Amino acid sequence: MPANALRVKKREFSTYEAVVNGQTVQMRGEYQVTVQNAGLLRVPSVSVSVNQLSLPNGSVTILEDTDIKSIGTLGGGQTGKAKFEFQISGSSQALRQFAGTACQGNESTLTTEETYSGILLAAVASGEIKINSPSPSCRSSGELPEPPEEPQPPEEPEPPAGEPEPPADEPEPPAGDPQPPEQPQPDPEPPDTQQVNISGPTSLSAGQEATYQVTNPPNEASEYNWQNSADVFDLSGDSRDNEYTVSFDNDSLQRISVDIRDSGGFQIGQGEIDVDVQPPSGNGEDDENDGGQTGPGQDRFDISGSGEPEIEGETTGVPVASYTFTANPSTDYDDVYLEWDMGDGTTYTRRDGPDVEHAFDEADETYTITAQLYNVGTAGRATAIETMTTTFTTFDGRRGTASQDSAFSIPSMDEAAENKSRDY
């Protein structure tokens, strides 16, 4: 081990506040760097400065060319801390994702370049780092509160006249054997981590809100740090309580996890739950026991098909009457369901077969009908595999006959004369 050597022992956001207003994020806090003298001899005049602290892609800069912070003298094995205040705002996606991670107390990946030095020593640390926010304070609306004013130290009283001035310099310590360096205290043993159970729905529609809770929390639980694989915010406003409300925008397989800490910051519990997020339910008449959701264990069917994907059925008709349409994919599929869009604002989910029955209300209209076929894998995750379309034209049955190219047609005079002269 060298006689004296400086190194960065720890980096963290000692304080972190954020307010999210729609797409805009405001952040404020303190970035704290802990420096250790890993050598045997003391190092006087230790100082730290941050040349740059930013997101990995450089899109957002948190700190840049800061003032030099003095730590003082570090004996062998001793540590000292330097704090740098920051305050930024913006609306970029990278900044919102960073705020979401920090607000949940999770590790954030940043890029840094720092200079730390002492008498006859200097070093530069740079590269990607992982930083924690142990005690974030985040809100979903409003403004950041004004920081409290730092108390001013009391003024020193003037010495009474006639008394001698105190000596300007401290007396030198008497010569003798050097004192051994202070030994760092060992960290306390962390408690055991309990696996906890999370209650809440395991299948959701995209856009649907759901709340999750830990059913068997540890007795010493003080803080719940929730997170999800999509990095969306906790809709309940505080992801550190034993209640987590979330809504996912896109259909996918998501994972919700919780990290439970005691009052000393030690992890005492953890758990996770997988959530199958499906496309939103339609507003038409769903099949029986459909439940408005798509997930593992719900009804699905096998379908046969060949040739070009198409929708079979009438292409013209009159209003109010019901017509049946059948989806015909290009090949055979197992374990599927269908989402129908009838082109008039009505949608259906079908899990029992390829047919749908529908009646249109308006005459003299052409509707585009779409059938989207979804395949459901072993994990219950739906994937769109084929789309089929057709058109349906309505006409007033009292005025003529419908055709594929027009809403209706009236027989011409020549056709009427020819029809009249025919023998029957």
Same domain, 248 and 376: no
Same domain, 240 and 297: no
Same domain, 32 and 124: yes
pTM of the complete model: 0.36
Question: Pick from 254, 278, 302: which residue ends a domain?
Answer: 278
Least confident of 32-41, 145-154, 172-181, 411-420: 411-420
Comparing 188 with 277, the larger pLDDT belongs to 277
Same domain, 288 and 270: no
Same domain, 297 and 409: yes
**Is the pLDDT reported for residue 299 higher than 80?**
no
Query: What pLDDT is attached to residue 5?
Result: 75
Work out the average pLDDT over 116-120: 79
**Is the pLDDT reported for residue 423 higher than 70?**
no
Q: Has residue 155 been placed in a domain? A: no
Work out the average pLDDT over 90-99: 80
Question: Pick from 69, 104, 139: which residue ends a domain?
Answer: 139
**Domain count along the chain:** 3
Same domain, 293 and 250: no
Residue 409 DSSP class: B
Q: Has residue 362 been placed in a domain? A: yes
Task: Round to whole Å and give the CA distance between 136 and 131.
Answer: 13
Query: What pLDDT is attached to residue 10?
Result: 87
Q: What is the 3-state secondary structure (H, E, C) of 261-293?
A: ECCCCCEEEEEEEEEEEECCCCCCCCCCCCCCC
Tell me the average pLDDT of the chain: 78
Range of the domain at 229: 194-278
Task: Round to whole Å and give the CA distance between 163 and 67.
Answer: 40
Q: Has residue 67 been placed in a domain? A: yes
Please give the C-alpha separations between residue 12 and each of 26, 148, 173, 413, in angstroms, as whole numbers.
Answer: 19, 21, 37, 89
Work out the average pLDDT over 255-265: 89
**Is the pLDDT reported for residue 101 higher than 90?**
no
Same domain, 334 and 366: yes
Comparing 8 with 286, the larger pLDDT belongs to 8
Helix (H) or strand (E) holding 48: strand 43-54
Cβ(290)–Cβ(297) below 8 Å: no
Q: Has residue 224 been placed in a domain? A: yes
Work out the average pLDDT over 179-188: 66
Same domain, 39 and 112: yes
**Is the pLDDT reported for residue 247 higher than 80?**
yes
Same domain, 308 and 396: yes
Least confident of 78-87, 298-307, 350-359, 376-385: 376-385
Query: What pLDDT is attached to residue 412?
Result: 40
Strands (E), 140-243: 194-195, 198-199, 203-205, 209-214, 223-228
Q: Has residue 394 been placed in a domain? A: yes
Work out the average pLDDT over 134-160: 69
**Is the pLDDT reported for residue 161 higher than 80?**
no
Work out the average pLDDT over 86-106: 81
Work out the average pLDDT over 165-182: 64
Residue whose C-alpha is closest to residue 346's, from 268, 282, 422:
282
Contact partners, residue 229, CB within 8 Å, separation at least 6: 254, 255, 256
Same domain, 131 and 198: no
At 195-219, the pLDDT tens digits run 999 988 888 888 788 888 999 999 9
Question: Pick from 257, 278, 299: which residue ends a domain?
Answer: 278
Q: Has residue 323 been placed in a domain? A: yes
Contact partners, residue 423, CB within 8 Å, separation at least 6: none
Helices (H), 68-180: 93-103
Work out the average pLDDT over 240-248: 84
Same domain, 255 and 372: no
> Residue 317 corresponds to which tokens in the numbers above?
């008709």
Work out the average pLDDT over 66-92: 87
Burial 16-34 (b: 16+ CB within 10 A, else e): bbbbbeeeebbbbbebbbb
Query: What pLDDT is attached to residue 334?
Result: 87
Q: Has residue 219 been placed in a domain? A: yes
CATH number, residue 264? 2.60.40.10
**Is the pLDDT reported for residue 424 higher than 60?**
no
With cut-offs at 50, 70 and 90, classify the pLDDT of residue 389.
very high
Same domain, 51 and 30: yes
Q: Has residue 172 been placed in a domain? A: no
C-alpha torsion angle, residues 138, 143, 86, 81 (rounded to 10): -50
Least confident of 18-32, 116-130, 402-416: 402-416
